[in-house]
């Protein structure tokens, strides 16, 4: 049974094979495994097959790459502790273990599992293990006169790799023989593609090819062992392939501070402003304060792992004195001094998207645009102590009715006191901003950037068409055009205008502004700028208004935010049973998988009718409130404030 299932004979020698892939993971090739047992004797082949089989069964499919890596690391260390002389059986067993290592590394790389994050000693140990296998192979072949027969007799000492630090050797129980130099090898039959940090790039091993399976032209006697060599004749060692061949053309930065400055300058060139000084810069400045301004070549993976942990220990501003909130590092130091138990850590979204995102982007930039061989490290540490993501809920129906009965929508004291009841009817940018946000689903920043030209008619329907903004940007290509950029490519869309907004006078506003030569639909919308970076914050105008309304009019239920307007509209779409594909296009979301990519790119007239065709009772109730106030203004019961006055007051 064993002969038929696991042994095959080629050219008089036995091979181990298994007709299913015990290491198969998503994305791996479907090929069976073959491995040369290096003998023509059936009895010896069965004996070696048993040794190999124990390794294969140890590493069957297991999604826990960390546990598999730890187990493999332990087996490597045990193999490295074995002193010479070495037998042919040991060579076969360790070569199979090496094959398992290649496969494990490849499987982990396919899912971006960072092996070295959990075991920093893995890569130097793996490098030494592979090199020693090649050395044992050469020594055994020299012992039988099949390779380098003219060279001196081999040494009795296991070679000591200069890449393995003394503290690692001590922890693994490996002894160093200072007088035994590393014997060079003329040609390595296999050479691992190692990283200079702790994470991995996928190591490609072509299974099924003879050159990958280390097949030799002549057999070696299985019973023969060799005395460990005393020296080896060395010719020029094969050099490791370099990841870059044009280092002279890449930017050189001596220290971390130089690299950070160059990174921020490159982002400023990309965006046309210094917005990244705030979004990326504060994270990179934390890295500089934490690590110190050291030479780049002294920064190793262990430093980045410590930085990764520190980023998860930054508290948010709540409860921290203002003088300790001037930078992320000051907040971190304050948290270390008083204890994180007394404070609240930053949210998981902030850490993973902002902090880790900025650092990963910095390392990717450094590897591709500079000559710094940055450690191939990924910031992705999971921390259960981080504050959970802040959930957002939709408005309840009673909250919507209470909101739209506020003075801004039903009659206010004046254009300057819109939240106090009175006899004035003010249709300013906030009036329209809230209505568009809830009934059309635009983001606050998208509302502030609207142009009069974005309101277009197609047949009997009116649309907010932001695709024109994208075309104008590409045509202009100027810094001014960049201010009209939206959140993502999916945000450049067209959405149908409900009849309610037309009846309230939004199209009339468009024509009145165009007659005056205005291009912005809401010229009174104030554009805030970040104090440090100068970044334009287009959504801040509506957000500040909501913060006032939330506290002054008691909209302080948990999970109720300004963005609850978009969540409310999404709930209305669900109640209308609108297809997910149309829902995503209306809200400016990415499509949900491949099915969402099929169909017209832009919203069609029929899809727009479907979005407008079914109205809910809550929509009728809100329309009654808004139209009643509009009719009162038309018939003189409320005093409409002219558009020019509303603009001048801003």
Distance (Å, whole) CA 181 – CA 237: 14
pLDDT value for 593:
62
Contact 650, 431 (CB under 8 A): no
Q: Are residues 337 and 403 in the same domain?
A: no
Instruction: State the Cα angle at 407 between 401 and 409, rounded to 5°.
Output: 60
- Whether residue 379 is contained in a domain is answered as no
CA distances from 419 to 410, 414, 542, 576 (A): 10, 9, 14, 33
- Whether residue 247 is contained in a domain is answered as no
- Whether residue 248 is contained in a domain is answered as no
Edge-first strand listing for the sheet containing 13-18: 7-10, 13-18, 33-36
Q: What is the pLDDT of residues 342-360, one digit of tens each?
A: 888 888 888 988 999 999 9
Q: Which two tokens stand for residue 66?
A: 């960390």
Q: Are residues 28 and 129 in the same domain?
A: yes
Distance (Å, whole) CA 342 – CA 162: 47
Q: Are residues 555 and 422 in the same domain?
A: yes
- Whether residue 236 is contained in a domain is answered as no
User: What domain range is 627 assigned to?
Assistant: 397-648
Q: Are residues 504 and 579 in the same domain?
A: yes
Q: Which two tokens stand for residue 623?
A: 């329309």
Q: Are residues 85 and 204 in the same domain?
A: yes
- Whether residue 382 is contained in a domain is answered as no
- Whether residue 378 is contained in a domain is answered as no
- Whether residue 375 is contained in a domain is answered as no
Distance (Å, whole) CA 219 – CA 144: 10
Q: Are residues 356 and 420 in the same domain?
A: no
**pLDDT beneath 70: ranges in the chain:** 1-5, 18-35, 54-67, 106-121, 143-249, 468-484, 532-533, 592-599, 614, 644-650
Q: What is the pLDDT of residues 307-317, one digit of tens each?
A: 999 999 999 88
Provide the whole-model pTM: 0.55
Q: Which of 230, 246, 274 is the last residue in one of the domains?
A: 230
Displacement of CA 229 from its chain's centroid (Å): 49
Q: Are residues 351 and 402 in the same domain?
A: no
Q: Are residues 25 and 80 in the same domain?
A: yes
Q: Which two tokens stand for residue 229?
A: 């060599």
Q: Are residues 273 and 213 in the same domain?
A: no
- Whether residue 534 is contained in a domain is answered as yes
Distance (Å, whole) CA 67 – CA 104: 11
Query: Own/partner pairs for 18-26, CB < 8 Å, 24+ apart?
Result: 18/56, 22/56, 22/57, 22/59, 22/60, 22/61, 23/59, 23/60, 23/61, 23/100, 23/103, 23/104, 23/107, 24/61, 25/61, 25/107, 25/110, 25/111, 26/110, 26/111
Q: Are residues 475 and 576 in the same domain?
A: yes
Specify the number of domains making up the chain. Answer: 3
Distance (Å, whole) CA 532 – CA 432: 30
Three-state SS at 361: helix
Distance (Å, whole) CA 342 – CA 315: 10
Q: Are residues 558 and 431 in the same domain?
A: yes
Q: Are residues 553 and 421 in the same domain?
A: yes
Residues facing 462 on adjacent strands? 457
Q: Which of 321, 349, 369 is the last residue in one of the domains?
A: 369
């Amino acid at each position: 049974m064993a002969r038929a299932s696991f042994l095959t004979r080629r050219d008089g020698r036995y091979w181990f094979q298994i007709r299913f892939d015990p290491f198969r993971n998503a994305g791996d090739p479907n090929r069976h495994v073959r491995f040369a047992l290096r003998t023509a004797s059936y009895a010896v082949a069965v004996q070696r097959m048993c040794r190999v089989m124990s390794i294969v069964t140890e590493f069957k499919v297991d999604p826990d790459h960390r546990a598999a890596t730890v187990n493999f690391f332990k087996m490597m260390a045990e193999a490295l502790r074995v002193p010479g002389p070495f037998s042919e059986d040991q060579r076969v067993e360790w070569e199979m273990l090496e094959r398992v290592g290649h496969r494990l590394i490849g499987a982990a790389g396919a899912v971006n599992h960072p092996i070295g994050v959990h075991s920093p000693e893995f890569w130097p140990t793996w490098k030494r293990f592979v090199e020693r296998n090649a050395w044992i192979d050469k020594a055994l072949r020299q012992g039988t006169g099949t390779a380098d027969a003219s060279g001196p007799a081999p040494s009795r000492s296991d070679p000591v790799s200069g890449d393995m630090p003394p503290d690692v050797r001590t922890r693994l129980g490996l002894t160093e023989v200072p007088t035994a130099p590393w014997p060079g090898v003329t040609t390595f039959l296999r050479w691992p593609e190692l990283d200079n940090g702790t994470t991995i790039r996928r190591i490609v091993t072509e299974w099924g090819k003879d050159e990958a399976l280390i097949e030799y032209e002549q057999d070696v006697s299985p019973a023969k062992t060799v005395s460990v060599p005393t020296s080896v004749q060395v010719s020029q060692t094969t050099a490791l392939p370099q990841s870059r061949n044009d280092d002279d053309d890449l930017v050189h930065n001596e220290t971390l501070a130089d690299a950070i400055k160059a990174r921020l300058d490159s982002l400023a060139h990309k965006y046309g402003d210094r917005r990244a000084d705030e979004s990326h810069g504060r994270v990179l400045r934390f890295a500089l304060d934490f690590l110190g301004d050291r030479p780049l070549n002294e920064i190793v993976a262990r430093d980045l792992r410590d930085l990764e942990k520190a980023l998860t220990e930054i508290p948010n501003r709540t409860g921290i004195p203002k003088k300790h909130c001037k930078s992320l590092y000051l907040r971190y130091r304050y948290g270390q001094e008083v204890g994180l138990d007394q404070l609240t850590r930053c949210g998981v979204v902030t850490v993973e998207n902002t902090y880790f995102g900025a650092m990963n982007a910095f390392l990717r930039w450094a590897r591709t645009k500079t000559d710094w061989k940055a450690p191939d490290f990924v910031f992705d540490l999971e921390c259960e102590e981080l504050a959970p993501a802040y959930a957002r809920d939709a408005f309840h129906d009673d909250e919507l009715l209470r909101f739209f009965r506020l003075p801004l929508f039903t009659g206010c004291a004046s254009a300057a006191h819109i939240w106090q009841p009175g006899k004035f009817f003010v249709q300013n940018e906030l009036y329209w901003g809230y209505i568009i946000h809830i009934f059309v689903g635009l983001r606050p920043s998208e509302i502030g950037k609207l142009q009069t030209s974005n309101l277009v008619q197609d047949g009997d329907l009116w649309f907010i068409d932001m695709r024109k903004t994208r075309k104008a940007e590409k045509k202009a290509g100027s810094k001014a055009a960049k201010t009209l950029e939206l959140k993502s490519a999916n945000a450049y869309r067209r959405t149908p205008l409900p009849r309610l907004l037309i009846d309230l006078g939004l199209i009339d506003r468009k024509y009145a502004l165009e007659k005056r030569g205005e291009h912005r639909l809401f010229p009174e919308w104030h554009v805030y700028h970040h104090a440090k970076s100068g970044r334009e914050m287009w959504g801040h105008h509506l957000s500040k208004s909501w913060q006032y309304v939330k506290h002054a009019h008691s909209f302080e239920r948990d999970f109720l935010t300004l963005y609850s307007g978009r969540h409310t509209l999404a709930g209305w779409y669900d109640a209308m049973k609108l297809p997910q594909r149309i829902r995503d296009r209306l809200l400016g979301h990415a499509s949900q998988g491949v099915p969402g990519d099929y169909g017209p790119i832009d919203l069609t007239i029929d899809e727009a009718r479907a979005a407008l065709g079914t109205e809910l009772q809550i929509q009728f109730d809100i329309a009654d409130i808004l139209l009643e106030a509009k009719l009162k203004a038309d018939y003189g019961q409320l005093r409409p404030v002219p558009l020019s006055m509303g603009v001048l007051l801003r």
